Structure formats: C-alpha cells, structure tokens
Amino acid sequence: MLICDEYLTPASLTEAFAAMAQHRGRYRVVAGCTDTLPWAREGRAGDVNIPALIDITKIPELNELRIDERRVRLGAATPIQRFLDDAALGHALPATPRCAVWFADDQIRAQATIGGNIVNASPAADITPCLAAHDATLELASLQGGKIVKRTMPLGEFLTGPGKTQLADGELLTAVECDALPGYGGSFEKVGHRRSLVISVVCLAVLVKLDAEGRKFDDVRLAIAGIRPIPRRLREIEDFLRSKTLTGALLEEAADLPLDLVQSRTRQEYRRDVVRGFLMRGLISAAKRAGAHPDGLTTAMEAAYG
C-alpha cells in the first residue's frame, strides 16, 4: 500500500520545483501512477510511506504537443493513448500507434505517460525502443539558482541500465523530441504470455522508407528491447539494408546477420528464434505500409511471416 501525508498537484514547472525543494529528500515525483501503485504492494515494495507525492501531469507544458515538418515535441506527461487517438501524431511518428496498441491495455494507456515509461527504464518497456527508432532526444529541466535550466540528451544515452538513468536529483524529464517521419512505414512486434497487460519477452520497432517506386530502401530504423538491459538500435542491419533493393532474399540475409543480441538470463534460444521472425515480419509489415512494390515481397513470404 502506498501511503503519503500529502498529494501535491503543481500547476506549473515553477510550482513543481518549489514543491520538490520544500519536500527535499521526502518526495517522489509521479505521473500516471500506473507503475507506482502496483509497486507499493506485497511481494514488491510492500507498504511504502512517502511523505509527499508530487503529481506533474497537470502542468500544461508537460502536456504540449507540437508537430512540424522536421520534429515532433511531446510533453513528458503525454498519455500513451495519444499515439492512437491523434492521427497527426501517428502520421508523424509511424511506429508509435503500432507500439501503443500493444502497450498495457486501452485503460492504462489513457493514464500512463511517455515520461513515466522512459524514467522507469524497464528493460521490457515498450515505448522506449519505439522512441529510440524515432531518434528521440529528451529535455531535462532543473532549478539552478532560482532559475529553470534545461539540458537535452539522446534517449540512448539517458538510459544506462535496468531502472537506471542519467536523471539527476531534483531534475524532471519535461519533453521528448523525435524526428518527424511522415511517409515511413512503421511496425511494432511484441510477444509475451498474452496480448494485453503483458511484459515483452521480445519487442521490436521498425521504420522503413522506400523510394518513390517502392522498390529500394531509402532508410531503415530498427530498435529491439526486452532481451537486453536497455533498448538497442540495430544499426548494422539498418546500414546493410539502406539503398538496397527490397527482395525476400535480402530480408532473409539481413535477419541472418551474425549479431549477438540476446542477453536475457532465460530462454535465450527461444528469444533468438523470435528475434529472427520479428525482423522478417517487422520489415515486411513496415515495407508494405511504406508502399512496397508487389514485386518485392512474395506471397509465400507474407504467408510465412506476415
């Protein structure tokens, strides 16, 4: 059970930092709370007494969404469900709706936030590999000498291990910026024990951009998670595929590149098989959504991996 003496809902960043200063050493910043409340139960943290909970989801700045041709800026308190509800956002970040649909369930997505998923730094987080594929950069804010100071950091640097990040004491994750990739085909592959409310055993985010005829890879971005302490971009495969002509044989070759990706403690063989299957299925689905020419993908391959 999570017990607190005070539940604070600051209406601005300034108020949030004031609350953090006032309760220094005795507070916890919360957003969606979908992980915090189950954490404070028997078998995990048990009964937890935190004097002050500071809920940052009502800060307008943390709920902003800005989309232009090049970049997308998302406030850290953006609920995951927004990737599914906001068509313009899904268009600009094509892998995110595919990822969001696998995230927890419809109800938890309405509450859980992007920032919470990142700061939790679970190796099985679903949104982080997806954002990594979109080249996400994080904006971190802190109060220094009475002024709000911001720094930025790539997502890949921010995450340092399971539950570990470079977030400094007294610092808040305020926004996430990604490359806008309209025209890319996106896909997200995930497997767990069931389809809703499940922790990823393996998950993979895929983004594919093809040339005008849908025959050649202009760009590929891949990020895998669930099998390592932190998500990993698969740049070797991205580089291998870029500028090549899409064929089934090429995809098989890409999926068979000798990369030692699985660092899990259990079921490594199974996960290796899944990774290969996901690379095939993810690339095929993303290429189709990117407008692949029918010559590139045989029906046999689609039946085998689609």
Partner 1 sequence: MVDLRLEATVNGRKISRTAKPHQRLLDFIRDDLNLTGNKEGCGAGECGTCSVFVDGVLMKSCLLPVAKAQGAQIDTIESLAKTGELSVLQKAFHKAGASQCGYCIPGMVMAATAALRINPFADREEIKERLGGNICRCTGYQKIFDAVELARDVQNGRLPATALLETDTEDGEVIGKNVRRIDAPSKVSGKLKYAGDMTMPGMLHVQVLRSPHAHARIVSIDVSAAEAMDGIEGVVTSADVPGQDGFGVFVHDQPVMARGKVRYVGEAVAAVAAEDAMTAKRALAAIKVVYAPLAPVFDAEEAMRPGAPVVHDYAPDNITKHIPIRVGDVEKGFAESDLVLEETYSTQAIEHAYLEPEAGLSYVDPDGVVVVVSPSQNITHHRHMLARIIAKPISKVRFIMSPVGGGFGGKEDMIYQGMLALLAMKTQRPVRLVFTREESIISTAKRHPSRTTLRMGLMRDGRIRALDMRMVCDGGAYGLSTEGVMRKAAILAAGPYVIPNVKVDTYGIYTNNTPSGAFRSFGALQTAFATESHLDIAAERLGLDPFQIRRINAMRDGATTHTKAKLGTVSLTRALDAAEKASGWEAGSPTMRGGTRGDLAHDDVRPAVSLGARFAADGKGGKQEAAE
Looking at 22, 107, 243, 263, which residue binds partner 1 (CB under 8 A)? 107
Question: What is d(CA 69, CA 265) in angstroms, rounded to the nearest whole number?
Answer: 42
Under a CB-based contact definition with an 8 Å cutoff, are residues 231 and 95 in contact? no
If binding is defined by CB under 8 A, does position 41 make contact with partner 1?
yes
- For partner 1, the closer CB: 186 or 231: 186
Looking at 66, 195, 235, 242, which residue binds partner 1 (CB under 8 A)? 195
Looking at 12, 63, 111, 247, which residue binds partner 1 (CB under 8 A)? 111
DSSP at 99 = H
Least distance between partner 1 and beta carbon 289 (Å) = 7
Degrees (nearest 5) of the Cα angle 105, 133, 152?
100
If binding is defined by CB under 8 A, does position 71 make contact with partner 1?
no
Among 132, 174, 172, 124, CA closest to 154: 132
The dihedral over CA atoms of 120, 125, 131, 132, expressed in degrees to the nearest 10, equals 90
Under a CB-based contact definition with an 8 Å cutoff, are residues 121 and 161 in contact? yes
Rg (CA), the chain: 20
Burial class (CB in 10 A: 0-12, 13-18, 19+), 264: middle
Least distance between partner 1 and beta carbon 130 (Å) = 14
- Contacting range for partner 1; rule: CB under 8 A; set: 17-25, 39-47, 169-177, 251-259: 39-47
If binding is defined by CB under 8 A, does position 97 make contact with partner 1?
yes
Looking at 11, 21, 168, 197, which residue binds partner 1 (CB under 8 A)? 197
Among 70, 291, 91, CA closest to 182: 91
- Contacting range for partner 1; rule: CB under 8 A; set: 18-26, 88-96, 126-134, 146-154: 88-96
The enclosing H or E element of 279 equals helix 268-289
If binding is defined by CB under 8 A, does position 30 make contact with partner 1?
yes
What's the distance, CA 269 to chain centroid?
A: 25
- Contacting range for partner 1; rule: CB under 8 A; set: 101-109, 144-152, 199-207, 251-259: 101-109
If binding is defined by CB under 8 A, does position 120 make contact with partner 1?
no
88 Cβ partners below 8 Å, 6+ apart? 67
- For partner 1, the closer CB: 57 or 78: 57
Q: Rule CB under 8 A: which residues touch partner 1?
A: 1-7, 9, 30, 32-34, 37-38, 41-43, 47, 53, 55, 57, 84, 90-91, 94, 97-98, 101-102, 104-108, 110-111, 186, 194-197, 289
